[in-house]
Structure 1
Amino acid sequence: AMGLPRDQFMRVLGLARSTVERKITQRGPLSQFEGEKLVGVERLIGQVDAMVREAGTAPDDFDAARWFARWMADPVPALGGLAPQDLLDTADGREAVSTLLYQMKSGVYA
Structure 2
Amino acid sequence: MYGVSIGIKPQNTTQLIARIKKGLPLKTFGQLCKNLAVPEKELCRILKIPLSTLARRKKSGQLSFEESERVFRIARLYDKAVELFKQPEFGRKWLKEPAWALGDVAPLDYADTELGAKEVEDLLGRIEHGVFT
- TM-score over 0.5 for the alignment? yes
Partner in structure 2 of residue 90 of structure 1: 113
Partner in structure 2 of residue 78 of structure 1: 101
Partner in structure 2 of residue 35 of structure 1: 68
Looking at structure 1, the residues matched to 71 and 43 of structure 2 have their Cα atoms a distance apart, in angstroms, of: 10
Aligned length in residues: 99
Which one has more relative contact order, counting CA pairs under 8 Å at least 6 apart?
1
Q: Structure 1 residues 48 and 74, CA, compared in 2 at 3 Å: closer, same or farther?
A: closer
Looking at structure 2, the residues matched to 2 and 26 of structure 1 have their Cα atoms a distance apart, in angstroms, of: 24
Q: How far off its partner does 1:71 sit?
A: 2.1
Q: How far off its partner does 1:99 sit?
A: 0.6
Partner in structure 1 of residue 83 of structure 2: 50
Q: How far off its partner does 1:69 sit?
A: 3.4
Which of the numbers 44, 49, 55 marks the counterpart of 1:21? 55
Q: How far off its partner does 1:41 sit?
A: 1.0
5+ unaligned residues in a row in structure 2: which ranges? 1-34
Does the 8 Å CA contact 1:87/1:94 hold for their aligned counterparts? yes
Q: Structure 1 residues 87 and 70, CA, compared in 2 at 3 Å: closer, same or farther?
A: same
Scaled by the length of structure 1, the TM-score of the pair is 0.76
Does the 8 Å CA contact 2:74/2:108 hold for their aligned counterparts? no
Moved more, 31-40 or 85-94: 85-94
Looking at structure 1, the residues matched to 129 and 118 of structure 2 have their Cα atoms a distance apart, in angstroms, of: 17
Which of the numbers 41, 48, 69 marks the counterpart of 2:92? 69
5+ unaligned residues in a row in structure 1: which ranges? 53-57
Looking at structure 2, the residues matched to 86 and 48 of structure 1 have their Cα atoms a distance apart, in angstroms, of: 15
Does the 8 Å CA contact 2:82/2:92 hold for their aligned counterparts? no
Looking at structure 2, the residues matched to 42 and 51 of structure 1 have their Cα atoms a distance apart, in angstroms, of: 14
Partner in structure 2 of residue 55 of structure 1: none
Query: Is the partner of 1:22 in helix, strand or coil?
Result: helix
Does the 8 Å CA contact 2:81/2:95 hold for their aligned counterparts? no
Q: Structure 1 residues 69 and 49, CA, compared in 2 at 3 Å: closer, same or farther?
A: closer
